[in-house]
Copies of this chain bind each other. A is one copy, B any other.
Amino acid sequence: MDNVEAERQRRQNLNRRFYELRSAVPKISKMDKASLLSDAVTYINELKAKNKELESKLQHVQNLSNCVTHGAAADHYAKANTGMGLVVEVKFVGSEALIRVECPNMMMNHPAARLMDVLRDLQLQIHHASISSVKHLMLHDIVVGVPEQGFMTMEEAMRIAILRRLLSN
């Protein structure tokens, strides 16, 4: 018959696909065909799960970094609490601290004065200050001396302290 040869090629072709599948699936329990198939489905499901996990993680991280990069270091805390573009950054350089505050003008009256009050309350001595207004935004770059103890190791605490006091009342 001609059928026998056709069937021969069909089996041969099918086995080729099996080998291809074997090469595509890394974890193979047994060289058995049935095992290969179930291994393939479990592997596919693993990939699907990992894919979903990665996608959600990526979206989460991208959301966070959007918050950060959008405002060039926009403050998550401020965003969460005010919904506006208040940004406070603190960075220590030796015994001094750089403080950078971005504040929308409409957010509060005389943000500069308010910031100075806060710094006074926190007993932070001002070494240098540069304040400018661009459009609706007030920019404050301030260099302060840091007290011998307290904030020395906690830039974040200091940042949060300034932020809370700015937002309170």
Contacts and interface: CB of A to CB of B under 8 A. Distances in A.
Given A14-B34, A54-B58, A132-B141, 16 more contacts: A10-B34, A14-B33, A17-B41, A20-B38, A44-B47, A51-B54, A58-B58, A65-B68, A68-B69, A68-B73, A72-B73, A73-B73, A93-B134, A94-B135, A130-B132, A130-B141
A44 B24 contact: yes
A45 interface: yes
A147 interface: no
Interface string A136-149: 11010101000000
Interface centre among A48, A69, A100 (most CB of B within 10 A): A69
A136 B26 CA distance: 52
Q: Is the interface of A mostly helix, strand, loop or mixed?
A: helix
A24 B51 contact: no
Interface string A104-145: 000000000000000000000001101010111101010100
Contacts of A135: 93-94, 96
A13 interface: yes
A13 B32 CA distance: 12
Contact of A93 (B38, B64, B89, B137): B137
Contacts of A68: 65, 68-69, 73
A79 to B, nearest CB: 14
A77 interface: no
